Amino acid sequence: MEKFIKLTSTVVPLPIENVDTDQIIPARFLKATSKEGFGDNLFRDWRYDKDNRPIESFVLNNPTYKGEILVAGKNFGSGSSREHAAWALAGYGFKIVVSGSFADIFKNNAMNNFVLPIAVSDDFLAEIFQSVEKNPQATLTVDLENQLITNNVTGKSEKFTISAYKKECFLKGFDDIDYLLNKKEVIEAYEKRNS
């Protein structure tokens, strides 16, 4: 898995709250048996009309906004546990999602696919939207090592939280299964104690 340390990018703003995973990837696209190709259907019903024509007003169809960072309103990723939502975001090319808060299951799913969810304060989030509205070329810098996100227009930074374990996973490209597979003896000992 690709390692992640520091990233500066323009952003794609989506100032909508409570974006649920049914919007990120609608249920009818969950029928695949691999993890590939979900990016094409990211935000499908906001992005295309029923005749599959791009809806111009939707931000992913606006060539002004590009980047590896999606910035969305609070409570992003609510609803269904479908990991397909994380596969769709990763498949489209997003490496980071910034929001006021994230639904728990989505947060785990995103991290398990090396998409970094960063929760920021309401004020910091509002300022990002303002910066991008004024200048679509506005950038954010995310420094994972120091757990710092910077709005390069205002120069303001905010510290974000991530567990030391997960940070290590991102920095080194490990996943949870690699770790758990090394714990088989501990698991068997647990089972013995509780049988």
Contact residues toward other proteins (CB under 8 A) are 15-18, 20, 22-23, 26-28, 30-35, 45, 50, 73-75, 78-83, 86, 101-105, 108-109, 112-113, 122, 126, 163-166, 175-177, 179-181, 183-184, 186-187, 190-191, 194
- Give the nearer residue to other proteins in terms of CB position, either 67 or 77: 77
Q: Can you tell me the distance from the alpha carbon of 161 to that of 159, in angstroms, rounded to the nearest whole number? A: 7
The rounded distance, in Å, linking the Cα atoms of 170 and 89 is: 17
Distance, CA of 187 to chain centre: 31
Q: How far apart (Å, rounded) are the C-alpha atoms in residues 90 and 124?
A: 24
Contact indicator for 105, 125 with CB cutoff of 8 Å: no
Residue 96 C-alpha from the chain's centroid: 5
- Contact at 8 Å (CB) between 125 and 72? no
Both tokens of residue 10?
């323009």
The single residue listed with the structure tokens 């709005």 is 151
Return the number of the residue (80 or 131) whose C-beta is nearest other proteins: 80
- Least distance in angstroms from the C-beta of 112 to other proteins: 4
By C-beta, is 81 or 141 nearer to other proteins?
81
In the complex, minimum distance from the CB of residue 78 to other proteins, in angstroms, rounded to a whole number: 6
Q: Which is nearer to other proteins, 155 or 193 (CB)?
A: 193
Structure tokens at 135: 């200048």
In angstroms, give the least distance from the CB of 191 to other proteins: 8
Rounded to the nearest whole angstrom, what is the least distance from the CB of residue 187 to other proteins in the complex?
Answer: 6
What is the rounded CA–CA span in Å between residue 186 and residue 113? Answer: 26
The minimum distance between CB 8 and other proteins, in angstroms, equals 27
- The CA angle 96-156-160, to the nearest 5 degrees, is 45
Decide whether 6 or 123 has the Cβ nearer to other proteins. 123
| 99/139 with CB nearer other proteins | 99
Nearest approach, Cβ of residue 17 and other proteins (Å) = 4
